[in-house]
Amino acid sequence: MKRLLAALVVVAAAVAVVWSPLSATAAASDPYAWKNVRIDGGGFIPGIVFNPGEQNLIYARTDIGGAYRWNQSSQSWTPLLDWVGQDDWGHNGVLSIAPDPVDTGRVYAAVGMYTNSWDPNNGAILRSTDKGATWQQTNLPFKVGGNMPGRGMGERLAVDPSNNKNVYFAAEGGNGLWRSTDYGVTWAKVGNFPNVGNYVQDPTDTNNYLNQNQGLTWVTFGSAGRIFVGVADKDNPVYTSTDSGATWSRVAGQPTGYIAHKGVISGNYLFIATSDTGGPYDGGAGQVYRLDITTGVWTDISPTAVADRYYGYSGLTVDRQHPGTLMVATQISWWPDAIFFRSTDYGATWTRAWDWTSYPSRSKRYTLDISANPWLDFNSTAQAPEESPKLGWMNESLAIDPFDSNRMLYGTGATLYGTTDLTKWDSGGTITIKPTAKGIEETAVLDLASPPSGAPLVSALGDIGGFYHADLDTVPANFHDTPSLGSNTSLDFAELSPSFFVRVGNADAAPHIGISNDGGKTWYQGQEPSGVTGGGTVAVGADANNVVWSPAGTGVYYSTTRGSTWTASTGIPTGAIVESDRVNPKTFFAYAGGTFYTSTDGGATFTARSVALPTTGRLHLKAVPGIAGEVWVAGSTGLFRSTDSGATFTKVSTVAEGVNVAFGKAAPGATHPAVFLVGTVDGVDGVFRSDDTGSSWLRINDDKHQYGNAGDALAGDPRIWGRVYLGTNGRGIFYADRTGPVPSTSASPSVSPSTSVSPSTSTSPSSSPSPSTSPSTGSGCTAAYKVTGSWTGGFQGEVTVTNNGGTATTGWTVKWAYTAGQTVTQSWGGTATQSGSAVTVTNASYNGALASGASTTFGFLGSTTGTTNPVPSPVSCSRVP
């Protein structure tokens, strides 16, 4: 995607490029508020850094989700890199972060996600003078791997406290040691640093992920110009300078055989924690050593004897208020749990967070309270000696507050934990550990669904599966389970029977599919064809009677038994993306290799269309709720719309590039659902809404809210006009609502008529005509009834209730009578009852209170017995009071 950039300015012979992003806006915009759907955490936190110069100034870094700053008053984290856009999405990988202890407004970050071809851009050093509120950027001449092996080591960035103009960066990939002498504006390689590292996890890795030289690992400063640097070289892990970086040498007498993950100075001592690998997922041996900087004597202070050790060491921290007090974490103790060790005598003796009593029992110096984030038990009831929840794993980040000996934070592979009564440990008491990740949203979002009834959102996520989000502002109690499918890759619901859901995922072995009959709240295991190795994509027919699944490892299959049996589809290639028509239960769509496919027999057979579609980019196809045969495709060359089930497509001329498309509730006065787009309009990347089927667009995000690699999951809300749900790769799920006034119907954007052409089959229902609105009657409130979609034997309707009184309501009731045998089968946004032909609908708990002039809607599904579906008249409305 294209991004407007400032002119590039070369600042030194071969060192760096300095640039700042220009602000860019689309031709029109609509003000929106963007908020995270709360999960709290959901990914690895490799670094936590306290600024020793200012109390409560704390930074956290993530491997794919940017960086954060602690907000003491709200006890939550503020994201700092949401301005990162599609073009430089890799800058949400933060390899290191360094606060300035002298000028505490300054902070630096080394950003870039991968050092291989997965990230097309080189890395960069970001610098801020306002604690990360705004940034400037210096491009590096090499890549940075914030999500590469070894990313938990560090910190690789460090500010020299004796001269804070000097900032050091210990780079990976054989790129050596770099230094800036002007507050991070320009950078040059330290040419006389003698070792660029040599540790490679797997030199034979054909994916080019494990075969990187992990380079240099950390920088730390002593007094009087003393600097120490860690190197990923098991024979030469620590180097030093005694003259402020003018010359360098290997530290004499140092321990060998391991990689120094951390190096921390306290007083006259350097402490290092070492492991036999770079982590963060592994580590089977290691040591903890102490160097007396004055005498040059190294002492092995490892908490565990070699014979009993099955882990390395990683997280390392010292108590600045109490010299001699330090803590270290295991790298990795998967079973039965992580271990934290604490010493108050410079490592001469240690105590453990837990000890064995009589196997399998353990005594603990802590209690772990996850009530704020209950899903952290991973839906598990572990058997002793394991427990649910665990202390964690991948505990590379461990930090004691330099101003408060009682506060300690540490990261895991899933969240951030903390305690505020740490010193109880030393007096024999029990400390309390709780999640401290509010504001950090790090999940990778693979699919989203917003059904017309039930929970407003159901998600499919990497690693932790996904959630039933009954309340967007509350952390869910548990994630999708029974079955657990690993990373969930796709989910869908029956548009006309939205309690039926199917989700699929990438578990290492079967099962790969789950079925729900209550809107995604609870699940049971479905059956699957032989050969399935991953989730792929899944599509559910509009009436829940047909499911089409395109899994990894085998071809496309369809089911007429809600996933209990499967039959191979024909006419469609393996790996195709599948989607269902949202009105016609038998119509399904698919895409593969630039070709569009249509099925009109429930997925049994597919027919290739002659239309040519994009073959590159992050292609997505979505069908329109309420309109049979309308399907849109977003791809690298734009946005395409079909109203005849894929027989023909028309390119939306205003869109240069599409990432994803979705549909939500229509604007007031409009008949077509609102269209949401992640893509490029008027030369600007962003998130857009159109209320007139793509004739015009409003940008609904801005340059400060781009979220990096976003848009592979996108859903509009069918119940709230303007609301959209955006999935990101590392910043979790966002929901966004309009903040401006609702326009009057007469001032609504004009909407082009949308003609739906039914597939050419005798079994396909015809599309509904333009919805008709019934006359309404009532005292103080009115109700407008309209049909929003119809098919053979059924239809969908919507009623808008408006408070015309001068005071607010506390409730309302709407009534009508059918004249052609229609029956209401399901309702949302109101409680419907029917006696004979008479229908009565009362408000839901959340929409009975309407201010004067305010409106709300409820929807319903109905069945028909004949060939007509006349709109009832009159439709009455009565209000309370």
Q: Which amino acid is at 117?
A: S
202 is an active site residue:
no
Q: Which among 30, 463, 601, 682 is annotated as catalytic?
A: 463
Cα–Cα distance, 484 to 505 (Å, whole number): 9
Cα–Cα distance, 187 to 189 (Å, whole number): 7
Cα–Cα distance, 454 to 392 (Å, whole number): 34
- Smallest CA-to-CA distance from 281 within 44, 506, 465, 585 is with 44
DSSP code of residue 89: G
Cα–Cα distance, 365 to 356 (Å, whole number): 12
Structure tokens at 76: 């939550």
Residue 565, CB-side half-sphere exposure with 13 Å CA sphere? 3
Q: Which among 40, 63, 160, 703 is annotated as catalytic?
A: 63
Structure tokens at 747: 């001032």
Residue 562, CB-side half-sphere exposure with 13 Å CA sphere? 15
| Residue indicated by tokens 């008949």 | 671
Tell me how many degrees the CA angle 793-799-801 measures, rounded to the nearest 5. 165
344 alpha carbon, distance to own chain's centre: 40
Structure tokens at 409: 């934070």
Structure tokens at 564: 């209990």
Torsion 865-866-869-874 (CA) sign: negative
Residue 337, CB-side half-sphere exposure with 13 Å CA sphere? 25
Torsion 386-392-398-400 (CA) sign: negative
Using DSSP's 3-state secondary structure scheme, residue 621 falls into: strand
Cα(first)–Cα(last) distance of the chain, in Å? 55
471 is an active site residue:
no
CA dihedral 135, 141, 145, 149 (to 10 degrees): -150
Cα–Cα distance, 428 to 369 (Å, whole number): 19
Whether residue 765 contacts residue 491, with contact meaning beta carbons closer than 8 Å, is answered with no
Residues, the chain: 881
- Smallest CA-to-CA distance from 850 within 877, 872, 876 is with 877
Cα–Cα distance, 685 to 526 (Å, whole number): 40
Cα–Cα distance, 426 to 712 (Å, whole number): 49
Q: Which amino acid is at 63?
A: D
Using DSSP's 3-state secondary structure scheme, residue 747 falls into: helix
Whether residue 491 contacts residue 449, with contact meaning beta carbons closer than 8 Å, is answered with yes
Structure tokens at 744: 């009057």
Ramachandran area for residue 253 (φ above 0: left; ψ -120 to 50: alpha; else beta): left
Cα–Cα distance, 395 to 410 (Å, whole number): 7
Cα–Cα distance, 158 to 164 (Å, whole number): 10
Q: Which residues pair with 71 in a beta bridge?
A: 76
Cα–Cα distance, 793 to 801 (Å, whole number): 27
- Smallest CA-to-CA distance from 317 within 327, 308, 307, 309 is with 327
| Residue indicated by tokens 């990740």 | 437
Whether residue 743 contacts residue 750, with contact meaning beta carbons closer than 8 Å, is answered with no
Cα–Cα distance, 841 to 839 (Å, whole number): 7
- Smallest CA-to-CA distance from 712 within 461, 386, 369 is with 461
Whether residue 433 contacts residue 342, with contact meaning beta carbons closer than 8 Å, is answered with no
Catalytic residue list = 63, 463
